[in-house]
Amino acid sequence: MAKVTFTLNDETVTVDEPLNMRFLDILRKELGLTGSKEGCGEGECGACSVFMDGWLVNSCLLPLASVEGRDIMTIEGYRETKRYKVLENAFVEEGAVQCGICTPGMVMAAENLLNRNPSPSEEEIRIALAGNLCRCTGYEMIFKAVKRASKEGEGLW
Amino acid sequence: MVKHVIPKTYEEALDHLSEGTFKVLAGGTDLMVKNRSWSETPARFKQDILYIHNLEELRYIEDRGDYLAIGALTDYETLLRHEAVPQVLKDCMLEIAGPGIRKVGTLAGNIGNASPAADGVLTLYLLDAKLVIEQKGSAREALIDDVIVGPGKTTLSNEEIIKEIRLPKTRFTKTRFLKVGGRKADAISKVAFAGAVTIEDGVVKDLRMALGAINVTVVRLRDVEKRHIGETISAVQDNIVSIKNAYVPHIKPIDDQRSNRVYRKRVAFNMIEDFITTMHTQD
């Protein structure tokens, strides 16, 4: 066990857990933040995506040790933003949500893209979401949702 | 009892390495999967772990005239966005995993992991990458070919750490990174190819080919490449049969969960032939 301190959704958090715990488990089990999902546990599906210092990372591959001193934002923090509302609306309008397991990760990956490229092409959207699996929608609705969000949220990104 | 240590500085990391037998964990994208246990339980490491992810002094990209210096902890996403990084390396990195893994994964980790199917390693062979390997009190520089010796095996001693990757600056007239995998994202290569050529006035001035996932290490035959330097494009292309023959003893793929040896062999030779026959045209 070791004490690790980091910023989580704008608050300073210290946990006393083994350094080799997966950060995803710290979030879900120790901190009760269950928005980040475990789909595969090996970095294939992206359902566990969170932001570390503003960049998308897979929390299932991140040992707790790597989070020391970092700034983390999960879907629970991101949902408080205006940008989230735009993405949520776009996902609903385009029917981009079915079972919902991939959705938090898809939304985070979309933010990771739009934050750096507010008007992405179809190809750029596909590359940005390449680390996220969805077994329901067939992806087309998700691509359309990101496109819609980039239009409707003009000026936010 | 396995020890878990987060060094505060790079110096402290070297101290720990000189005193113990640690596995160095950079991004952890390979080690966390390899040592994965049940959900909600810690990764099951069999060895003491040195967590270096927070050593900011190892995150840099510096132009040093003759070569580009890349600090060991520089992640793929950062490299992809840097103007001085060679295009063939970018083409390769864009096919490694997805954005989330690319933000923590590192080339140095790819080298330390020493998988014969590592795409990053393949491209570093192509670019004649040199590694700065350090231990407390001393450092050495080595060509990547001389560091990786087999699947998961390197010449690094327990005291040593990869500190920096050096890419000599070279201008090619054409480069190619080509990977055959199960699907476009996140797939580990069944076979991978990296090629580079420099052609001036119809004469081949530089020719390089590296193949991955078809032997215990990346295959790059420098003597075969050298044989054709100074020849005209058509002279090299007329020799395609002898070029392919030179690779026969070295293309020894295995059957595994990703592919089989018959397929891998065929694809590997097709990749060589296609690069040679199209080296004078842009893709």
Domains identified in chain A, total number? 2
A52 contacts in B (CB within 8 Å)?
A: 103-104
* Helices H / strands E in chain A, number of each: 6, 5
Closest-CA residue of A relative to B31 is A61
CATH label of the domain that carries residue B263: 3.30.390.50
Residue-level pLDDT at B182: 81
* Domain assignment of residue B81, given as a range: 4-168
The percentage of residues in chain A with a pLDDT greater than 90, rounded to a whole number, is: 99
Where residue A53 falls among pLDDT bands split at 50, 70, 90? Answer: very high
For residue B103, the tally of other CB atoms under 10 A from its CB is 24
B104 contacts in A (CB within 8 Å)?
A: 52, 57-58, 61-62, 66
Domain boundary pick from A54, A76, A98: A76
Q: Residues B9, B107: one domain? A: yes
Q: Residues A99, A140: one domain? A: yes
Between the CA atoms of A75, A80, A81 and A85, what dihedral angle is there, to the nearest 10 degrees?
80
CB under 8 Å to B176, separation ≥6 — which residues?
Answer: B88, B91, B193, B194, B195, B196, B275, B283
CATH label of the domain that carries residue A37: 3.10.20.30
Residue A26 in this model has a pLDDT that exceeds 70: yes
CATH label of the domain that carries residue B17: 3.30.465.10
Q: State which H helix or E strand residue A154 sits in.
A: none
Q: Which two tokens stand for residue B144?
A: 């990547």
Q: Which two tokens stand for residue B21?
A: 């037998």
CATH label of the domain that carries residue A123: 1.10.150.120
Give, as one character, the DSSP assignment of residue B98: -
B283 located within any domain:
no
A2 contacts in B (CB within 8 Å)?
A: 4, 6
pTM of the model: 0.95
B21 located within any domain:
yes
B2 contacts in A (CB within 8 Å)?
A: 20
Q: Residues A61, A93: one domain? A: no
Q: Residues A52, A103: one domain? A: no
A157 located within any domain:
no
Cα separation of A37 and A25, whole Å? 10
Q: Residues B124, B213: one domain? A: no
| Interface residue of A15, A22, A52 to substitute, partner B, most B CBs within 10 Å | A22
| Interface residue of A3, A17, A19, A21 to substitute, partner B, most B CBs within 10 Å | A19
Residue in A60, A66, A131 closest to B98 by CB: A131
B79 located within any domain:
yes
Domain boundary pick from B168, B201, B220: B168
Least Cα distance to B222 among B281, B280, B146 occurs for B146
Residue-level pLDDT at B1: 86
* Domain assignment of residue A9, given as a range: 2-76
B33 contacts in A (CB within 8 Å)?
A: 42-43, 61
Where residue A72 falls among pLDDT bands split at 50, 70, 90? Answer: very high
Domains identified in chain B, total number? 2
Q: State which H helix or E strand residue B236 sits in.
A: helix B233-238
Q: Residues B21, B94: one domain? A: yes
Least Cα distance to B106 among B43, B165, B66 occurs for B165
How far A8 CA sits from the closest chain B CA (Å)? 17
* Helices H / strands E in chain B, number of each: 11, 13
Q: Residues B72, B115: one domain? A: yes
Q: Residues B212, B160: one domain? A: no
Can you tell me the ipTM of this complex?
A: 0.96
Q: Residues A146, A97: one domain? A: yes
Q: Residues A6, A59: one domain? A: yes
Query: How many residues appear in chain A?
Result: 157
Domain boundary pick from B136, B168, B200: B168
Where residue A112 falls among pLDDT bands split at 50, 70, 90? Answer: very high
Instruction: Walk along chain B (283 residues) and give the pLDDT tens digit of each residue.
Output: 899 999 999 999 999 999 999 999 999 999 999 999 999 999 999 999 999 999 999 999 999 999 999 999 999 999 999 999 999 999 999 999 999 999 999 999 999 999 999 999 999 999 999 999 999 999 999 999 999 999 999 999 999 999 999 999 999 999 999 999 887 655 788 999 999 999 999 999 999 999 999 999 999 999 999 999 999 999 999 999 999 999 999 999 999 888 999 999 999 999 999 999 999 998 8
Residue in A21, A28, A46 closest to B100 by CB: A46
Q: Each residue of A126-141: pLDDT tens digit?
A: 999 999 999 999 999 9
Residues A62-82: b if buried by 16+ CB within 10 A, e if exposed? bbbbbbbebebbbbbbbbeee
Instruction: Decide: B217 and B150 in contact? Cβ < 8 Å.
Output: yes
Q: Residues A31, A50: one domain? A: yes
How far B99 CA sits from the closest chain A CA (Å)? 6
Domain boundary pick from B168, B183, B212: B168
| Interface residue of A20, A48, A132 to substitute, partner B, most B CBs within 10 Å | A20
Contact check, Cβ <8 Å, B97/A69: no
Q: Residues A91, A49: one domain? A: no
Q: Residues A70, A86: one domain? A: no
* Sheet arrangement for strand B130-135: B61-63, B67-71, B161-168, B130-135, B138-143
Q: Residues B130, B87: one domain? A: yes
Contact check, Cβ <8 Å, A65/B99: no
Domain boundary pick from A52, A76, A100: A76
B244 located within any domain:
yes
Q: Residues A64, A87: one domain? A: no
Neighbouring C-alpha atoms within 13 Å toward the C-beta of A130: 19
Residue-level pLDDT at B185: 58
End-to-end CA distance of chain B, in Å? Answer: 54
How far A138 CA sits from the closest chain B CA (Å)? 15
Residue in A2, A29, A56 closest to B40 by CB: A29
Cα separation of A72 and A32, whole Å? 15
Domain boundary pick from A76, A93, A120: A76
Residue-level pLDDT at B186: 57
Q: Each residue of A38-52: pLDDT tens digit?
A: 999 999 999 999 999
Q: Residues B103, B13: one domain? A: yes
Give, as one character, the DSSP assignment of residue B244: H
Backbone angles phi, psi at A100, to 5 degrees: 95, -10
Inform me whether the C-beta atom of residue B80 falls under 8 Å from chain A C-beta atoms: no
List all residues of chain B from 84 to 103 with a beta carbon under 8 Å from chain A.
94, 97-101, 103
Q: Residues B164, B179: one domain? A: no
B282 located within any domain:
no
A22 located within any domain:
yes
Q: Residues B52, B155: one domain? A: yes
